Structure 1
Amino acid sequence: MASAAPLVDRAGVHLLRNLGPRSAAMLADAGIETVGDLRAIGAAGAFRRLRFMGGNPSRSLLWAMAAGLQGRDWRALDEAEKAALEAALLD
């Protein structure tokens, strides 16, 4: 039986706006391969996992993941959205 997950959730993270091959490879190394994987863990959760695995992800990647899940350019995030993402890293 086919998965009930929407097609977009089964797509690779490399198809998200803002995420290129290098970001997708970092996420795959952390076990986050699909849009659904990223949506489930969230941008802050993915960022924490990358750091836990010894990576040094930039804040730009945090913003890129969050905005990408919304279909937005990361530069469109306002300061309040960025601050909320920063706060989510502390949860």
Structure 2
Amino acid sequence: MSDAAIDTLTGIGPVTQSRLADAGLRTVGELRSMGSVEAYRRLKFMLPRQVSLNALYALEAALRGCHWLDLPQDVKVALQQQARIIDEAFRRGGVARCSL
């Protein structure tokens, strides 16, 4: 696991770095271990109106070492599907912890 700060990744600016830190992610290794989709899920639930699909693209691209515009189309489609699932879960209010 890399102890390098997240801001060493291309495409991760100070706002995203701060948001990731608030979500408990401070190093490249932590982000890599969690993955872009789970990191996006955490950010989306923390800041639903401020976190968009572009954040998910940026996280994935940063982990791949490229610009988000250069992500392969099939990767973007897969990320879009994951974002829709996360958005739907947010609108439903998450999963009930127990049934009565």
TM range (shorter): 0.7 to 0.9
TM-score (ref. length: structure 1): 0.82
**In 1: Cα distance, 2:45 partner to 2:71 partner:** 25
Deviation per residue, 1:17-61 (Å, 9 max, x gap): 111111100100110111111111110100001122234312111
2:37 aligned partner, one-letter code = A
Partner of 1:65: 59
Partner of 2:25: 32
Q: Which has the larger radius of gyration?
A: 2
Partner of 2:35: 42
Partner of 1:80: 74
Structure 1: which 5+ residue stretches go unaligned?
none
**In 2: Cα distance, 1:15 partner to 1:41 partner:** 17
**In 2: Cα distance, 1:78 partner to 1:33 partner:** 27
- The reply on whether 1:14 has 2:36 as its aligned counterpart is no
* Equivalent pairs, count: 84
**Larger relative contact order, structure 1 or 2 (CA cutoff 8 Å, min sep 6):** 1
Question: Root-mean-square deviation (CA), in Å?
Answer: 1.6
Structure 2: which 5+ residue stretches go unaligned?
87-100
Give the fraction of aligned pairs with identical amino acids, expressed as a percent.
38
